[in-house]
Structures are given as C-alpha cells and as structure tokens.
C-alpha cells in the first residue's frame, strides 16, 4: 500500500485556527450579529445595547480584529467596526466542505 504524503502549511493552519477560534465563541457571534444588523458601529453602541462590560467587548473585538473577521476604522474619537464578509463567507465554505468530507 502506498503512503500518502501529508503537507501542512503551518502559517495557513495558524490563520485558519485564529479565524475558527474567533468565530467559535457565542458572545463574539452575538457581537457579529449586532454589527451585521447595524452596519459599521462603535464599541460604545455594542456594549450598551448588548449590556456587556466595555472591557470584555473590547477584548472580543480584538480577537475578531486580529483574526481579520472585522476591520476597525478610526473616525474622530470613535473606532467603527465592520465585518469582513468575504473572509466569513470563505470560512463558512471551508467548514461546510470539511463537514461534507468527513460525513
């Protein structure tokens, strides 16, 4: 029997793990839904509406931002967050394809 060589690109694996980790938290999903509903929005609107502490909201936004799931644009004294829909769609397709492959 011939062995199949497995090649893993560690950088792509790290990026994929960061994205999956960012999307796998219920509170981050709630924050993403809020941003999706409102469009670009700032941290104050997020934590006031969702009744989350400001520091916790900022920590979750940082995880989402570092994974590339959201982008941050400074406008005056506010930072507005927007969803990177292209990245989220690619992640969703990758998960769907993986689930189909293993079932």
Question: pLDDT tens across 40-55, in order?
Answer: 999 999 999 999 999 9
User: What residues contact residue 94 under an 8 Å CB cut-off, 6+ apart?
Assistant: 16
Residue 22 lies in a domain: yes
Position 1 pLDDT exceeds 80: no
pLDDT average, residue stretch 1-25: 87
The number of distinct structural domains making up the chain is: 1
Which residues lie closer than 8 Å to 101 by C-beta, 6 or more apart?
none
pTM here? 0.87
- Domain membership of residue 89 (yes or no) is yes
Structural domain of residue 85, as residue ranges?
10-102
Residue 7 pLDDT: 83
Residue 72 lies in a domain: yes
| 80 occurs within a structural domain | yes
- CATH number for the domain spanning 92: value is 1.10.10.10
Does the pLDDT of residue 27 top 90, yes or no?
A: yes
């Amino acid at each position: 029997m011939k062995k199949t060589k497995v090649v893993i690109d560690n950088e792509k694996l790290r990026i994929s793990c960061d994205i999956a980790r960012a999307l796998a938290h219920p509170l981050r999903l709630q924050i993403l839904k809020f941003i999706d509903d409102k469009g670009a929005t700032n941290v104050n609107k997020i934590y006031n509406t969702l009744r989350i502490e400001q520091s916790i909201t900022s920590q979750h936004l940082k995880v989402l931002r570092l994974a590339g799931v959201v982008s941050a644009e400074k406008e005056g004294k506010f930072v507005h967050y927007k969803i990177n829909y292209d990245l989220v769609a690619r992640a969703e397709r990758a998960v769907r394809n993986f689930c189909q492959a293993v079932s």
